[in-house]
Structure 1
Amino acid sequence: MAPAAASPDRPPVPAGADGAAVTSLTAAGRVVGRYVHRPGLPGRLSPRPYLHPLTTLGGVPVTDFMPADHPHHLGVSVAVPDVAGRNFWGGPTFVRDRGHVELDDRGVQDVVDGPAGGADGFTEELSWRADGGELLRERRTVAVRPLDEDCWVLDLAFALTNPGPRTLSLGSPATNGRPGAGYGGFFWRAPSGPGRAAVFTADAEGETAVHGRTADWLALTGGPWTLVLAGATEETRRDPWFVRVADYPGVGSALAWAERLPVPPGATVARRIVTAVVDGRLGRAEADALARRLTGGTGGPAGPGPV
């Protein structure tokens, strides 16, 4: 697809080698990531914007893209497996009494305005579309900033609005007859390494203890890197964490864990996740101190928010 058209206040977004419109993100004078606005992906992946590759300031990769075990995992993205019965996650659909099956029900996230910004952050407007119609309209903001010589911060916020005349709802396999899944929303697929990744919060450790629980912050580490993710709003902190480390390293903030999330006409669902990307493997005390810096020690975000 063609890059976004230029305007007096918005420079053209360069096309990458695959022809997609991309923004390179920089922190502390280094390129730390690539945001793909208009990916040329097959429909079975529920095409959507994504962040990949992302690296530490030292150049260590911290995202994975289209891995063999889950080809629909696209680095860092916002994805929901069930929006009014349409799949905006990619991969097979879970159907009660039938398990995971392939259905032609996948949606796409199209950029309709933007991006407006630059290498340290931008805003854009997205249309979540399926069957030729719009189900959700989203305003997304992404910002990056350096924090220390070995750490930078990704600040991602999204607001999903129902533009239609009827209430729709968001769900996941956990709310469609399969207990314990609960994924959908902000999701980060991390790279697999020679050793198993580890996950912990301020008072719990391991996939079983952390998965499906709420916590102000969560740390995922894979050896030469650590991610410290914190909910930057009260609503975000109420969402349980979706965690995988045994099968693959990944973490998300679940919008609809045990029950479907209704979105009435004109209503908006907004979330914000702030993530510290660190060179090295942090322990609990170090991660907790870093999380407090991310949130100002009060649960709210520290420093400037997204542009």
Structure 2
Amino acid sequence: MTGKPALVHRHGEDVRVRVADTGVELLRYVYRAEAAWEAPKPYIHPLRTLAGRIVTDYRPNDHRWHKGLQMTASHLSGQNLWGGNSYVHGEGYQPLPERVGSMAHAGFDEISAREDGVTLAERLTWHPYTGELWADEVRRVEVHDIDPAAGSWALTWSSAVTNRRTEPLRFGSPATHGRAGAGYTGLFWRGPRAFRGGRVFSADGEGPGLMGRQSDWLAYTGEHDGFDGHATVVMAHAPENDHTGAHGEHPAHWFVRNDSYAGMAPSFAFHEELVLDPGRTLTRRYRVLVADGAWDRDRIEEALGRTAW
């Protein structure tokens, strides 16, 4: 059995990637606009393992705006491109539709399948509630390293966001606005409800205490409902992200939860705002490893080491 991929593009709706030999659909990249209050934006759901087990959730009743794997911006110069109620310091979460913006699909420059992978190259525009153009994004989603023997495959997500305003864009989070620990923003994964209480770990740490800390990668292992067994989802920084801030870049810190729900994000505005000046571009690249089974650190490190950036 090989890991050759195939794709189907439903114009105006989504792009679906499957494994040709088995017919298992690995993902759907959905780019049609959805409910305004949920901050419309493209997302990936369902996301599946090679065995066909779903490892994302969609519009759960606790957070209707959580949709699989998606790029978000929870606080952006006073706007909410995350979805749902907006956090206001001293008042908590408030229904403020005039703050809820969107990320709109503008077109694909490439949709291609090869023997060893799939590439989606997309252009998007970012808008506040009132509809002005605040930013352009060039996004690239790649499926690769489909390995039936190992039971895993990899996805690389690249985003380059350019500020089109005449003033800075300020990327923040509820944490930068006064809610301790709520540093969520950026590329966000929401796991299935069955994954609540799953194992969270990094190369040098264990448990939800990794919230707000730094590491090259973060893993989440959960157990399925309906099927015997586990799955592991790993999110990793590309080397050029410089998540530590050691070379002058804005440092990133992990947002992760496994108590109220399963979710994680390499937040670029956990402890302090990221300020993007007019005309400047924020570029980030991440890898998502999707695996059948409860993987350990050694197996994750070995798999990440095999997938070249």
Q: Normalization by structure 1: what TM-score?
A: 0.86
Gaps of 5+ in 1: 1-10, 295-301
Match of 1:24 in 2: 16
Match of 1:126 in 2: 124
| Residue 141 (structure 2) pairs with residue 142 (structure 1) | yes
Query: Shift of the alpha carbon at 1:236?
Result: 5.4
In structure 2, C-alpha distance between the alignment counterparts of 1:96 and 1:74, rounded to whole Å:
26
Query: Shift of the alpha carbon at 1:145?
Result: 1.3
Matches within 5 A, 1:145-156: 145-149=144-148, 150-156=151-157
* Equivalent of residue 268 in structure 1, options 281, 288, 296: 281
Deviates more, 1:21-30 or 1:175-184: 21-30
Query: Shift of the alpha carbon at 1:190?
Result: 0.9
Match of 1:14 in 2: 10
Match of 2:194 in 1: 193
Opposite residue 194 of structure 2, the aligned amino acid is G
Opposite residue 60 of structure 1, the aligned amino acid is R
Matches within 5 A, 1:39-188: 39=33, 41-104=34-97, 105-119=99-113, 120-130=118-128, 131-149=130-148, 150-188=151-189
Opposite residue 168 of structure 2, the aligned amino acid is T
Opposite residue 21 of structure 1, the aligned amino acid is E
In structure 2, C-alpha distance between the alignment counterparts of 1:107 and 1:71, rounded to whole Å:
16
Summarize the Cα distance change of 1:27–1:267 in structure 2 as closer, same or farther, 3 Å threshold: farther
SS at match of 1:290: helix
Opposite residue 133 of structure 1, the aligned amino acid is E
Deviations 1:202-235 (A, max 9, x none): 1110011x11111011111103210122101332
* Equivalent of residue 234 in structure 1, options 233, 240, 243: 240
Opposite residue 48 of structure 1, the aligned amino acid is K
Opposite residue 122 of structure 1, the aligned amino acid is L
Aligned residues of 1:25 and 1:121 also touching (Cα < 8 A)? no
Aligned residues of 1:62 and 1:225 also touching (Cα < 8 A)? yes
In structure 1, C-alpha distance between the alignment counterparts of 2:278 and 2:36, rounded to whole Å:
27
For these two proteins, the number of residue pairs brought into alignment is: 280
In structure 1, C-alpha distance between the alignment counterparts of 2:20 and 2:233, rounded to whole Å:
18
Aligned residues of 2:196 and 2:261 also touching (Cα < 8 A)? no
Summarize the Cα distance change of 1:236–1:196 in structure 2 as closer, same or farther, 3 Å threshold: same
Match of 2:260 in 1: 247
CA RMSD of aligned residues (A): 1.8
Match of 2:226 in 1: none
Aligned residues of 2:8 and 2:16 also touching (Cα < 8 A)? no
In structure 2, C-alpha distance between the alignment counterparts of 1:128 and 1:233, rounded to whole Å:
26
| Residue 222 (structure 2) pairs with residue 222 (structure 1) | yes
SS at match of 2:285: strand
| Residue 281 (structure 2) pairs with residue 281 (structure 1) | no
Gaps of 5+ in 2: 1-6, 224-229, 245-251
Query: Shift of the alpha carbon at 1:288?
Result: 2.2
| Residue 36 (structure 2) pairs with residue 37 (structure 1) | no
Query: Shift of the alpha carbon at 1:132?
Result: 2.0
Q: Normalization by structure 2: what TM-score?
A: 0.86
Opposite residue 214 of structure 2, the aligned amino acid is T
Summarize the Cα distance change of 1:164–1:262 in structure 2 as closer, same or farther, 3 Å threshold: same
Query: Shift of the alpha carbon at 1:158?
Result: 0.4
Aligned residues of 1:27 and 1:144 also touching (Cα < 8 A)? no
Deviations 1:226-267 (A, max 9, x none): 012210133253311110101111110101111111110111
Aligned residues of 1:27 and 1:146 also touching (Cα < 8 A)? no
In structure 1, C-alpha distance between the alignment counterparts of 2:302 and 2:289, rounded to whole Å:
12
Deviates more, 1:212-221 or 1:190-199: 190-199
Deviations 1:131-177 (A, max 9, x none): 12011111100010134211110110101110122112111101111
Summarize the Cα distance change of 1:199–1:260 in structure 2 as closer, same or farther, 3 Å threshold: same
SS at match of 1:44: helix
SS at match of 2:212: coil
Query: Shift of the alpha carbon at 1:26?
Result: 3.1
SS at match of 1:193: helix
Deviates more, 1:138-147 or 1:113-122: 113-122
In structure 1, C-alpha distance between the alignment counterparts of 2:89 and 2:235, rounded to whole Å:
32
